[in-house]
Structure 1
Protein backbone atom coordinates (compact mmCIF):
# COMPACT_ATOMS: atom_id res chain seq x y z
CA UNK A 1 0.00 0.00 0.00
CA UNK A 2 1.36 3.41 -0.95
CA UNK A 3 1.59 6.47 1.31
CA UNK A 4 -1.01 8.17 -0.89
CA UNK A 5 -3.44 5.32 -0.38
CA UNK A 6 -2.96 5.43 3.37
CA UNK A 7 -3.68 9.17 3.40
CA UNK A 8 -6.91 8.58 1.46
CA UNK A 9 -8.01 5.85 3.85
CA UNK A 10 -8.35 7.35 7.31
CA UNK A 11 -9.42 3.99 8.68
CA UNK A 12 -6.09 2.44 7.71
CA UNK A 13 -4.03 5.22 9.29
CA UNK A 14 -5.90 5.12 12.59
CA UNK A 15 -5.93 1.30 12.70
CA UNK A 16 -2.16 1.24 12.21
CA UNK A 17 -1.72 3.57 15.17
CA UNK A 18 -3.10 0.87 17.48
CA UNK A 19 -0.18 -1.40 16.71
CA UNK A 20 2.31 1.48 16.90
CA UNK A 21 1.36 1.88 20.56
CA UNK A 22 1.86 -1.88 21.05
CA UNK A 23 5.44 -1.47 19.80
CA UNK A 24 5.96 1.30 22.36
CA UNK A 25 4.62 -0.93 25.15
CA UNK A 26 6.87 -3.78 24.02
CA UNK A 27 9.88 -1.45 24.15
CA UNK A 28 8.95 -0.40 27.69
CA UNK A 29 8.37 -3.99 28.82
CA UNK A 30 11.93 -4.86 27.81
CA UNK A 31 13.49 -2.13 29.96
CA UNK A 32 15.02 -3.17 33.32
CA UNK A 33 13.21 -0.20 34.89
CA UNK A 34 9.90 -0.73 33.09
CA UNK A 35 6.99 1.33 34.44
CA UNK A 36 4.45 -0.84 32.56
CA UNK A 37 4.54 -4.62 32.16
CA UNK A 38 3.04 -5.92 28.92
CA UNK A 39 4.70 -9.21 27.95
CA UNK A 40 2.26 -9.82 25.08
CA UNK A 41 2.85 -6.52 23.27
CA UNK A 42 5.90 -8.02 21.52
CA UNK A 43 3.61 -10.35 19.57
CA UNK A 44 1.98 -7.27 18.02
CA UNK A 45 5.35 -5.77 17.14
CA UNK A 46 5.53 -6.68 13.46
CA UNK A 47 8.07 -5.32 10.94
CA UNK A 48 5.38 -2.98 9.65
CA UNK A 49 4.36 -1.66 13.07
CA UNK A 50 8.01 -1.28 14.15
CA UNK A 51 8.79 0.75 11.03
CA UNK A 52 5.77 2.97 11.69
CA UNK A 53 6.80 3.43 15.32
CA UNK A 54 10.31 4.41 14.27
CA UNK A 55 8.85 6.99 11.88
CA UNK A 56 6.59 8.41 14.57
CA UNK A 57 9.35 8.66 17.17
CA UNK A 58 11.77 10.17 14.65
CA UNK A 59 9.12 12.81 13.90
CA UNK A 60 8.98 13.80 17.57
CA UNK A 61 6.42 11.42 19.01
CA UNK A 62 6.67 10.66 22.72
CA UNK A 63 6.14 7.40 24.60
CA UNK A 64 5.06 8.72 27.98
CA UNK A 65 1.36 9.14 27.28
CA UNK A 66 1.09 5.55 26.02
CA UNK A 67 2.96 4.00 28.94
CA UNK A 68 1.55 6.13 31.73
CA UNK A 69 -2.07 5.78 30.62
CA UNK A 70 -1.48 2.03 30.44
CA UNK A 71 -0.28 1.76 34.05
CA UNK A 72 -2.93 4.22 35.26
CA UNK A 73 -5.65 2.21 33.52
CA UNK A 74 -4.33 -1.15 34.72
CA UNK A 75 -4.53 -0.08 38.36
CA UNK A 76 -7.95 1.57 38.05
CA UNK A 77 -9.40 -1.37 36.10
CA UNK A 78 -8.05 -3.85 38.63
CA UNK A 79 -9.62 -1.94 41.52
CA UNK A 80 -12.99 -1.64 39.78
CA UNK A 81 -13.29 -5.32 38.87
CA UNK A 82 -12.06 -6.40 42.31
CA UNK A 83 -14.89 -4.32 43.79
CA UNK A 84 -17.47 -6.25 41.78
CA UNK A 85 -17.86 -4.61 38.37
CA UNK A 86 -18.23 -7.58 36.06
CA UNK A 87 -18.22 -6.04 32.57
CA UNK A 88 -15.57 -4.03 30.75
CA UNK A 89 -15.98 -2.20 27.44
CA UNK A 90 -12.83 -1.20 25.58
CA UNK A 91 -13.58 1.24 22.75
CA UNK A 92 -11.10 1.46 19.86
CA UNK A 93 -9.41 -1.53 21.47
CA UNK A 94 -6.63 -1.71 18.87
CA UNK A 95 -3.62 -3.47 20.33
CA UNK A 96 -4.88 -3.55 23.93
CA UNK A 97 -3.79 -6.79 25.64
CA UNK A 98 -5.45 -6.44 29.04
CA UNK A 99 -7.85 -9.32 28.42
CA UNK A 100 -4.80 -11.62 28.27
CA UNK A 101 -2.44 -10.12 30.82
CA UNK A 102 -4.55 -8.87 33.76
CA UNK A 103 -6.07 -11.21 36.39
CA UNK A 104 -9.84 -10.68 36.25
CA UNK A 105 -12.37 -12.21 38.66
CA UNK A 106 -14.18 -15.27 37.26
CA UNK A 107 -17.05 -14.42 34.95
CA UNK A 108 -15.78 -10.97 33.94
CA UNK A 109 -16.94 -10.07 30.44
CA UNK A 110 -14.55 -7.98 28.37
CA UNK A 111 -16.07 -6.36 25.27
CA UNK A 112 -13.69 -4.98 22.63
CA UNK A 113 -14.92 -2.71 19.84
CA UNK A 114 -12.85 -1.46 16.92
CA UNK A 115 -12.99 -0.90 13.19
CA UNK A 116 -13.78 -4.01 11.11
CA UNK A 117 -10.65 -6.13 10.61
CA UNK A 118 -8.63 -4.62 13.46
CA UNK A 119 -9.48 -7.16 16.14
CA UNK A 120 -9.18 -10.11 13.75
CA UNK A 121 -5.64 -8.97 12.96
CA UNK A 122 -4.86 -8.76 16.68
CA UNK A 123 -6.33 -12.19 17.37
CA UNK A 124 -4.12 -13.75 14.70
CA UNK A 125 -0.98 -12.22 16.18
CA UNK A 126 -1.94 -13.18 19.74
CA UNK A 127 -2.84 -16.77 18.81
CA UNK A 128 0.23 -18.14 20.67
CA UNK A 129 -1.21 -16.85 23.95
CA UNK A 130 -4.90 -17.53 23.26
CA UNK A 131 -5.02 -19.76 26.33
CA UNK A 132 -3.96 -16.85 28.58
CA UNK A 133 -7.33 -15.09 28.42
CA UNK A 134 -8.53 -14.39 31.94
CA UNK A 135 -12.06 -13.24 31.05
CA UNK A 136 -14.97 -13.87 28.68
CA UNK A 137 -13.93 -11.77 25.71
CA UNK A 138 -16.42 -10.55 23.09
CA UNK A 139 -15.31 -8.65 19.98
CA UNK A 140 -17.29 -6.34 17.72
CA UNK A 141 -16.12 -4.83 14.43
CA UNK A 142 -17.81 -1.42 14.47
CA UNK A 143 -17.09 2.17 13.47
CA UNK A 144 -17.75 4.24 16.61
CA UNK A 145 -18.91 7.13 14.46
CA UNK A 146 -21.90 5.04 13.38
CA UNK A 147 -25.01 4.71 15.50
CA UNK A 148 -25.24 0.91 15.43
CA UNK A 149 -22.55 -0.04 17.94
CA UNK A 150 -24.65 0.51 21.11
CA UNK A 151 -27.32 -1.85 19.83
CA UNK A 152 -24.72 -4.40 18.74
CA UNK A 153 -23.06 -4.20 22.14
CA UNK A 154 -26.33 -4.95 23.93
CA UNK A 155 -27.07 -7.81 21.55
CA UNK A 156 -23.65 -9.25 22.42
CA UNK A 157 -24.62 -9.45 26.10
CA UNK A 158 -23.79 -6.05 27.57
CA UNK A 159 -26.19 -5.11 30.39
CA UNK A 160 -26.78 -1.37 30.63
CA UNK A 161 -28.55 -1.67 33.98
CA UNK A 162 -25.35 -2.82 35.67
CA UNK A 163 -22.09 -0.92 36.22
CA UNK A 164 -19.30 -1.26 33.70
CA UNK A 165 -15.75 -0.08 33.22
CA UNK A 166 -15.34 1.87 29.98
CA UNK A 167 -11.83 2.21 28.53
CA UNK A 168 -11.36 5.04 26.04
CA UNK A 169 -7.61 5.23 25.47
CA UNK A 170 -5.88 6.71 22.45
CA UNK A 171 -9.16 7.58 20.73
CA UNK A 172 -10.00 11.11 21.79
CA UNK A 173 -7.15 12.91 19.95
CA UNK A 174 -8.79 11.94 16.65
CA UNK A 175 -12.27 13.27 17.51
CA UNK A 176 -13.79 16.68 17.08
CA UNK A 177 -14.96 18.15 20.44
CA UNK A 178 -18.64 17.72 19.62
CA UNK A 179 -18.09 14.04 18.74
CA UNK A 180 -16.27 13.54 22.03
CA UNK A 181 -19.05 15.04 24.16
CA UNK A 182 -21.63 13.03 22.20
CA UNK A 183 -19.65 9.85 22.90
CA UNK A 184 -19.41 10.64 26.62
CA UNK A 185 -23.13 11.30 26.81
CA UNK A 186 -23.92 8.04 25.04
CA UNK A 187 -21.64 6.06 27.34
CA UNK A 188 -23.34 7.62 30.35
CA UNK A 189 -26.78 6.71 29.01
CA UNK A 190 -25.66 3.11 28.55
CA UNK A 191 -24.12 2.72 32.02
CA UNK A 192 -25.50 1.62 35.35
CA UNK A 193 -24.77 3.57 38.56
CA UNK A 194 -21.20 3.09 39.80
CA UNK A 195 -19.74 2.71 36.31
CA UNK A 196 -16.15 3.82 35.78
CA UNK A 197 -14.67 5.64 32.79
CA UNK A 198 -10.93 5.51 32.06
CA UNK A 199 -9.83 7.98 29.41
CA UNK A 200 -6.93 10.08 28.18
CA UNK A 201 -6.59 13.10 25.90
CA UNK A 202 -4.01 15.69 24.89
CA UNK A 203 -3.92 18.92 26.86
CA UNK A 204 -4.62 22.05 24.83
CA UNK A 205 -1.00 23.05 25.50
CA UNK A 206 0.19 20.12 23.38
CA UNK A 207 -0.90 21.95 20.25
CA UNK A 208 0.63 25.24 21.38
CA UNK A 209 4.08 23.87 22.19
CA UNK A 210 6.50 24.42 19.26
CA UNK A 211 8.33 21.23 20.25
CA UNK A 212 5.34 19.21 19.00
CA UNK A 213 4.85 20.92 15.62
CA UNK A 214 6.79 18.36 13.60
CA UNK A 215 4.94 15.40 15.10
CA UNK A 216 1.54 17.02 14.61
CA UNK A 217 2.45 17.64 10.96
CA UNK A 218 3.55 14.01 10.63
CA UNK A 219 0.22 12.76 11.98
CA UNK A 220 -1.73 15.03 9.62
CA UNK A 221 0.31 13.84 6.64
CA UNK A 222 -0.38 10.17 7.35
CA UNK A 223 -4.13 10.72 7.70
CA UNK A 224 -4.46 10.44 11.49
CA UNK A 225 -4.42 14.07 12.56
CA UNK A 226 -4.74 15.00 16.23
CA UNK A 227 -7.85 17.20 16.59
CA UNK A 228 -8.80 17.39 20.25
CA UNK A 229 -6.92 19.23 22.99
CA UNK A 230 -8.53 20.04 26.33
CA UNK A 231 -7.73 22.78 28.81
CA UNK A 232 -9.74 21.15 31.63
CA UNK A 233 -10.40 17.47 31.03
CA UNK A 234 -11.84 16.82 34.49
CA UNK A 235 -14.24 19.74 34.19
CA UNK A 236 -15.54 18.51 30.85
CA UNK A 237 -16.12 15.02 32.24
CA UNK A 238 -17.97 16.52 35.21
CA UNK A 239 -20.22 18.53 32.89
CA UNK A 240 -21.04 15.33 31.01
CA UNK A 241 -22.33 13.69 34.20
CA UNK A 242 -19.18 11.98 35.49
CA UNK A 243 -17.36 12.63 38.78
CA UNK A 244 -13.80 12.88 37.56
CA UNK A 245 -10.24 13.00 38.77
CA UNK A 246 -7.85 14.06 36.02
CA UNK A 247 -4.08 14.49 36.04
CA UNK A 248 -1.49 15.71 33.61
CA UNK A 249 1.63 13.59 33.18
CA UNK A 250 3.62 16.25 35.02
CA UNK A 251 1.20 16.09 37.95
CA UNK A 252 1.55 12.31 38.11
CA UNK A 253 5.34 12.61 38.06
CA UNK A 254 5.05 15.01 41.00
CA UNK A 255 3.06 12.41 42.98
CA UNK A 256 -0.29 14.21 42.82
CA UNK A 257 -2.27 10.96 42.37
CA UNK A 258 -2.26 8.97 45.63
CA UNK A 259 -3.07 5.59 44.11
CA UNK A 260 -0.65 5.47 41.15
CA UNK A 261 3.14 5.19 41.55
CA UNK A 262 4.75 8.36 40.26
CA UNK A 263 6.10 7.72 36.75
CA UNK A 264 9.75 8.54 36.08
CA UNK A 265 10.71 11.86 34.55
CA UNK A 266 11.74 10.13 31.30
CA UNK A 267 8.04 9.37 30.66
CA UNK A 268 6.81 12.87 31.51
CA UNK A 269 8.89 15.34 29.47
CA UNK A 270 7.69 18.96 29.59
CA UNK A 271 6.41 18.88 25.99
CA UNK A 272 4.18 15.82 26.50
CA UNK A 273 1.11 17.76 27.64
CA UNK A 274 -1.35 14.96 28.24
CA UNK A 275 -4.29 14.11 30.52
CA UNK A 276 -5.30 10.79 32.09
CA UNK A 277 -8.55 10.49 33.98
CA UNK A 278 -10.72 8.19 36.05
CA UNK A 279 -14.38 9.12 36.41
CA UNK A 280 -17.38 7.55 38.11
CA UNK A 281 -21.07 7.68 37.34
CA UNK A 282 -23.17 8.51 40.39
Structure 2
Protein backbone atom coordinates (compact mmCIF):
# COMPACT_ATOMS: atom_id res chain seq x y z
CA UNK A 1 0.00 0.00 0.00
CA UNK A 2 1.34 3.41 -0.93
CA UNK A 3 0.73 6.35 1.31
CA UNK A 4 -0.23 9.92 0.51
CA UNK A 5 2.30 12.65 0.06
CA UNK A 6 2.01 16.35 -0.75
CA UNK A 7 -0.41 16.88 -3.62
CA UNK A 8 -1.83 19.37 -6.05
CA UNK A 9 -4.86 21.05 -4.54
CA UNK A 10 -8.28 21.29 -6.21
CA UNK A 11 -8.77 24.88 -5.05
CA UNK A 12 -8.06 27.14 -2.08
CA UNK A 13 -8.01 24.35 0.52
CA UNK A 14 -6.07 25.01 3.70
CA UNK A 15 -3.38 22.48 4.72
CA UNK A 16 -5.66 20.58 7.11
CA UNK A 17 -8.44 20.36 4.52
CA UNK A 18 -5.96 18.93 2.00
CA UNK A 19 -5.47 15.93 4.27
CA UNK A 20 -8.96 14.78 3.19
CA UNK A 21 -7.39 13.95 -0.17
CA UNK A 22 -4.83 11.75 1.56
CA UNK A 23 -7.61 9.80 3.25
CA UNK A 24 -9.54 9.53 -0.03
CA UNK A 25 -6.45 8.01 -1.63
CA UNK A 26 -6.27 5.36 1.08
CA UNK A 27 -9.98 4.61 0.67
CA UNK A 28 -9.53 4.26 -3.08
CA UNK A 29 -6.73 1.75 -2.66
CA UNK A 30 -8.69 -0.32 -0.17
CA UNK A 31 -11.78 -0.25 -2.40
CA UNK A 32 -9.73 -1.66 -5.27
CA UNK A 33 -8.19 -4.39 -3.15
CA UNK A 34 -9.74 -7.91 -3.29
CA UNK A 35 -11.39 -8.55 0.06
CA UNK A 36 -11.30 -4.89 1.08
CA UNK A 37 -13.03 -3.90 4.30
CA UNK A 38 -15.31 -1.45 2.47
CA UNK A 39 -16.07 -0.05 -0.97
CA UNK A 40 -16.02 3.65 -1.65
CA UNK A 41 -16.94 4.04 -5.33
CA UNK A 42 -16.16 7.77 -5.34
CA UNK A 43 -12.78 7.94 -3.62
CA UNK A 44 -10.79 7.47 -6.81
CA UNK A 45 -12.71 10.30 -8.49
CA UNK A 46 -11.56 12.74 -5.78
CA UNK A 47 -7.95 11.62 -6.22
CA UNK A 48 -8.13 11.99 -9.99
CA UNK A 49 -9.86 15.38 -9.88
CA UNK A 50 -7.19 16.69 -7.50
CA UNK A 51 -4.37 15.57 -9.77
CA UNK A 52 -2.99 13.51 -6.90
CA UNK A 53 0.28 11.62 -7.24
CA UNK A 54 1.86 9.64 -4.38
CA UNK A 55 4.72 11.31 -2.59
CA UNK A 56 8.00 9.81 -1.51
CA UNK A 57 8.41 6.13 -0.65
CA UNK A 58 6.39 5.59 2.54
CA UNK A 59 8.16 4.82 5.78
CA UNK A 60 6.86 2.52 8.53
CA UNK A 61 4.82 5.19 10.28
CA UNK A 62 3.23 6.26 7.00
CA UNK A 63 2.19 2.69 6.24
CA UNK A 64 0.74 2.38 9.73
CA UNK A 65 -1.30 5.54 9.21
CA UNK A 66 -2.72 4.14 5.97
CA UNK A 67 -3.66 0.81 7.59
CA UNK A 68 -5.13 2.69 10.55
CA UNK A 69 -7.31 4.77 8.23
CA UNK A 70 -8.66 1.59 6.60
CA UNK A 71 -9.62 -0.01 9.92
CA UNK A 72 -11.03 3.29 11.17
CA UNK A 73 -13.26 3.68 8.12
CA UNK A 74 -14.85 0.25 8.53
CA UNK A 75 -15.24 0.68 12.30
CA UNK A 76 -17.07 3.98 11.86
CA UNK A 77 -19.23 2.56 9.07
CA UNK A 78 -20.40 -0.14 11.46
CA UNK A 79 -20.89 2.37 14.28
CA UNK A 80 -23.18 4.57 12.19
CA UNK A 81 -25.20 1.69 10.79
CA UNK A 82 -25.59 0.32 14.30
CA UNK A 83 -26.87 3.67 15.56
CA UNK A 84 -29.55 3.97 12.88
CA UNK A 85 -30.50 0.31 13.32
CA UNK A 86 -31.25 1.24 16.94
CA UNK A 87 -33.61 3.98 15.80
CA UNK A 88 -31.46 7.13 15.63
CA UNK A 89 -32.38 9.19 12.58
CA UNK A 90 -30.02 12.18 12.84
CA UNK A 91 -26.36 11.76 11.85
CA UNK A 92 -23.83 14.59 12.06
CA UNK A 93 -20.33 14.55 10.55
CA UNK A 94 -18.28 17.56 11.73
CA UNK A 95 -15.32 18.15 9.41
CA UNK A 96 -16.84 15.71 6.93
CA UNK A 97 -14.13 16.31 4.37
CA UNK A 98 -14.53 13.97 1.39
CA UNK A 99 -16.60 11.44 3.32
CA UNK A 100 -19.13 9.70 1.05
CA UNK A 101 -21.12 7.72 3.61
CA UNK A 102 -24.30 9.57 2.63
CA UNK A 103 -23.85 8.06 -0.84
CA UNK A 104 -22.45 4.60 -0.17
CA UNK A 105 -24.02 3.20 3.03
CA UNK A 106 -27.42 1.44 3.08
CA UNK A 107 -29.38 3.91 5.20
CA UNK A 108 -32.88 3.07 6.41
CA UNK A 109 -35.79 5.37 5.65
CA UNK A 110 -35.96 8.63 7.56
CA UNK A 111 -32.26 9.25 8.14
CA UNK A 112 -31.10 12.86 7.80
CA UNK A 113 -27.34 13.30 7.57
CA UNK A 114 -25.58 16.63 8.14
CA UNK A 115 -22.10 17.28 6.76
CA UNK A 116 -20.19 20.23 8.23
CA UNK A 117 -17.03 21.65 6.68
CA UNK A 118 -15.44 24.71 5.11
CA UNK A 119 -16.84 26.05 1.81
CA UNK A 120 -13.88 25.09 -0.46
CA UNK A 121 -14.04 21.47 0.72
CA UNK A 122 -17.78 21.17 0.15
CA UNK A 123 -17.58 22.93 -3.22
CA UNK A 124 -14.89 20.55 -4.48
CA UNK A 125 -16.79 17.57 -3.15
CA UNK A 126 -20.08 18.61 -4.76
CA UNK A 127 -18.37 19.21 -8.10
CA UNK A 128 -16.73 15.78 -8.17
CA UNK A 129 -19.82 13.89 -7.01
CA UNK A 130 -22.00 15.71 -9.55
CA UNK A 131 -19.58 14.62 -12.25
CA UNK A 132 -20.04 11.03 -11.09
CA UNK A 133 -23.82 11.30 -11.19
CA UNK A 134 -23.89 10.42 -7.50
CA UNK A 135 -27.02 10.75 -5.41
CA UNK A 136 -27.30 10.43 -1.62
CA UNK A 137 -29.03 7.38 -0.15
CA UNK A 138 -30.51 9.41 2.69
CA UNK A 139 -31.63 13.00 3.20
CA UNK A 140 -28.41 15.04 3.22
CA UNK A 141 -27.65 18.62 4.24
CA UNK A 142 -24.19 20.12 3.70
CA UNK A 143 -23.41 23.17 5.84
CA UNK A 144 -20.39 25.41 5.29
CA UNK A 145 -19.22 26.25 8.80
CA UNK A 146 -16.03 26.96 10.71
CA UNK A 147 -15.96 24.49 13.59
CA UNK A 148 -13.26 26.46 15.42
CA UNK A 149 -15.36 29.62 15.70
CA UNK A 150 -18.80 31.04 15.15
CA UNK A 151 -22.16 29.67 16.18
CA UNK A 152 -22.22 26.54 14.05
CA UNK A 153 -24.70 24.93 16.44
CA UNK A 154 -27.35 27.48 15.48
CA UNK A 155 -26.64 26.84 11.79
CA UNK A 156 -27.24 23.16 12.37
CA UNK A 157 -30.50 23.79 14.19
CA UNK A 158 -31.66 26.14 11.45
CA UNK A 159 -31.07 23.38 8.92
CA UNK A 160 -33.58 21.16 10.69
CA UNK A 161 -31.54 19.41 13.37
CA UNK A 162 -33.74 18.51 16.34
CA UNK A 163 -31.99 19.12 19.66
CA UNK A 164 -34.67 17.08 21.48
CA UNK A 165 -34.10 13.88 19.48
CA UNK A 166 -31.04 11.61 19.87
CA UNK A 167 -28.33 11.90 17.26
CA UNK A 168 -25.22 10.03 16.14
CA UNK A 169 -22.02 12.06 15.79
CA UNK A 170 -18.82 11.06 14.05
CA UNK A 171 -15.75 13.23 14.57
CA UNK A 172 -13.30 11.41 12.32
CA UNK A 173 -9.66 12.42 12.26
CA UNK A 174 -10.27 15.96 13.51
CA UNK A 175 -9.21 16.36 17.14
CA UNK A 176 -5.54 15.78 16.42
CA UNK A 177 -5.51 18.97 14.29
CA UNK A 178 -7.05 21.14 17.04
CA UNK A 179 -5.61 22.78 20.11
CA UNK A 180 -6.95 21.67 23.48
CA UNK A 181 -9.06 24.83 23.69
CA UNK A 182 -10.52 24.30 20.22
CA UNK A 183 -11.33 20.64 20.93
CA UNK A 184 -13.05 21.50 24.22
CA UNK A 185 -15.02 24.26 22.50
CA UNK A 186 -16.23 21.94 19.76
CA UNK A 187 -17.26 19.31 22.31
CA UNK A 188 -19.05 21.91 24.44
CA UNK A 189 -21.15 22.94 21.45
CA UNK A 190 -21.71 19.33 20.41
CA UNK A 191 -22.75 18.38 23.94
CA UNK A 192 -25.30 21.18 24.01
CA UNK A 193 -26.90 19.76 20.86
CA UNK A 194 -26.81 16.09 21.81
CA UNK A 195 -30.01 14.90 23.52
CA UNK A 196 -29.83 12.04 26.04
CA UNK A 197 -29.17 8.79 24.23
CA UNK A 198 -27.05 10.47 21.55
CA UNK A 199 -23.85 8.76 20.48
CA UNK A 200 -20.37 10.01 19.63
CA UNK A 201 -17.44 8.26 17.94
CA UNK A 202 -13.88 9.48 17.45
CA UNK A 203 -10.29 8.40 17.84
CA UNK A 204 -8.91 8.04 21.35
CA UNK A 205 -6.92 10.98 22.61
CA UNK A 206 -3.20 10.50 22.07
CA UNK A 207 0.18 12.02 22.70
CA UNK A 208 1.49 13.23 19.36
CA UNK A 209 4.66 14.89 20.63
CA UNK A 210 6.87 12.30 18.93
CA UNK A 211 4.46 11.05 16.27
CA UNK A 212 6.21 10.01 13.10
CA UNK A 213 9.69 10.67 14.47
CA UNK A 214 12.27 9.32 12.07
CA UNK A 215 9.80 8.98 9.16
CA UNK A 216 10.12 12.02 6.87
CA UNK A 217 7.41 10.71 4.56
CA UNK A 218 4.73 11.86 7.04
CA UNK A 219 6.22 15.22 8.02
CA UNK A 220 3.68 17.08 5.86
CA UNK A 221 0.93 15.56 8.06
CA UNK A 222 2.43 15.41 11.52
CA UNK A 223 3.62 19.01 11.31
CA UNK A 224 -0.06 20.00 11.37
CA UNK A 225 -0.94 17.98 14.47
CA UNK A 226 -1.70 19.93 17.65
CA UNK A 227 -2.97 17.05 19.75
CA UNK A 228 -6.36 18.33 20.89
CA UNK A 229 -7.10 17.22 24.46
CA UNK A 230 -4.46 14.52 24.20
CA UNK A 231 -4.74 11.42 26.36
CA UNK A 232 -7.21 13.26 28.59
CA UNK A 233 -9.96 13.25 25.95
CA UNK A 234 -11.86 10.31 27.39
CA UNK A 235 -11.70 11.73 30.91
CA UNK A 236 -12.96 15.09 29.64
CA UNK A 237 -15.97 13.42 28.09
CA UNK A 238 -16.68 11.46 31.27
CA UNK A 239 -16.75 14.70 33.27
CA UNK A 240 -19.18 16.29 30.80
CA UNK A 241 -22.02 13.82 30.72
CA UNK A 242 -20.79 11.08 28.39
CA UNK A 243 -20.43 7.37 29.14
CA UNK A 244 -17.24 6.37 27.34
CA UNK A 245 -16.37 2.95 25.88
CA UNK A 246 -12.82 2.31 24.69
CA UNK A 247 -12.08 0.06 21.71
CA UNK A 248 -8.36 -0.79 21.41
CA UNK A 249 -7.04 -0.83 17.88
CA UNK A 250 -5.66 -4.36 17.95
CA UNK A 251 -9.04 -5.77 19.04
CA UNK A 252 -10.88 -3.82 16.35
CA UNK A 253 -8.43 -4.99 13.68
CA UNK A 254 -8.83 -8.62 14.76
CA UNK A 255 -12.61 -8.27 14.47
CA UNK A 256 -12.15 -7.52 10.78
CA UNK A 257 -9.64 -10.29 10.19
CA UNK A 258 -6.67 -7.93 10.11
CA UNK A 259 -3.68 -8.13 12.40
CA UNK A 260 -2.45 -4.83 13.78
CA UNK A 261 1.32 -4.67 13.71
CA UNK A 262 1.63 -0.99 12.98
CA UNK A 263 4.22 1.30 14.45
CA UNK A 264 3.23 4.21 16.64
CA UNK A 265 1.72 3.77 20.11
CA UNK A 266 -0.27 6.97 19.57
CA UNK A 267 -2.61 5.04 17.25
CA UNK A 268 -4.47 3.55 20.20
CA UNK A 269 -8.00 2.97 18.95
CA UNK A 270 -11.37 4.58 19.38
CA UNK A 271 -13.97 5.90 21.80
CA UNK A 272 -17.69 5.26 21.44
CA UNK A 273 -19.65 7.37 23.91
CA UNK A 274 -23.31 7.75 24.86
CA UNK A 275 -24.88 10.93 26.23
CA UNK A 276 -26.37 10.41 29.69
- Same-fold status (TM-score > 0.5): yes
Give yes or no for contact 1:35–1:263 (8 Å, CA) kept in 2: no
Give yes or no for contact 2:24–2:43 (8 Å, CA) kept in 1: yes
Q: 1:277 to 1:85 in 2, by over 3 A?
A: same
| Aligned residue number for residue 228 of structure 1 | 228
Structure 2: gaps (5+ residues)? 1-5
- Secondary structure of 1:231 counterpart: helix
- The residue correspondences of 1:209-228 to structure 2 (distance < 5 A) are 211=213, 214=216, 217-219=219-221, 224-228=224-228
- Secondary structure of 2:252 counterpart: helix
Superposed CA offset, 1:140-181 (max 9, x none): 111111122111111111111111111100111111122212
Superposed CA offset, 1:193-235 (max 9, x none): 111111125622x5336656535633366xx334337335433
Q: TM-score by structure 2 length?
A: 0.84
Count of residue pairs brought into register by the alignment = 264
Which is richer in helix? Answer: 1
- Secondary structure of 2:110 counterpart: coil
CA distance in 2, matches of 1:136, 1:162: 16
| Aligned residue number for residue 30 of structure 2 | 28
Superposed CA offset, 1:24-66 (max 9, x none): 1001111113123222211211264632x53594695221221
User: Post-superposition shift, 1:94?
Assistant: 0.5
Of 234, 248, 264, which residue of structure 2 is paired with 1:271?
A: 264
1:126 equivalent in alignment to 2:129: yes
- Secondary structure of 2:55 counterpart: helix
- The residue correspondences of 1:1-282 to structure 2 (distance < 5 A) are 12-46=14-48, 48=50, 50-51=52-53, 53-55=54-56, 57=58, 60-61=61-62, 62-201=65-204, 203-204=206-207, 206-208=208-210, 211=213, 214=216, 217-219=219-221, 224-228=224-228, 230-231=230-231, 233-253=233-253, 255=254, 261-262=255-256, 264-265=258-259, 268-271=261-264, 273-274=266-267, 275-282=269-276
Q: 1:162 to 1:213 in 2, by over 3 A?
A: same
User: Post-superposition shift, 1:271?
Assistant: 2.0
Give yes or no for contact 1:18–1:95 (8 Å, CA) kept in 2: yes
Q: 1:209 to 1:42 in 2, by over 3 A?
A: closer
- Secondary structure of 1:197 counterpart: strand
Q: RMSD of the alignment, in Å?
A: 2.7
* Deviation >6 Å, runs of 4+: none
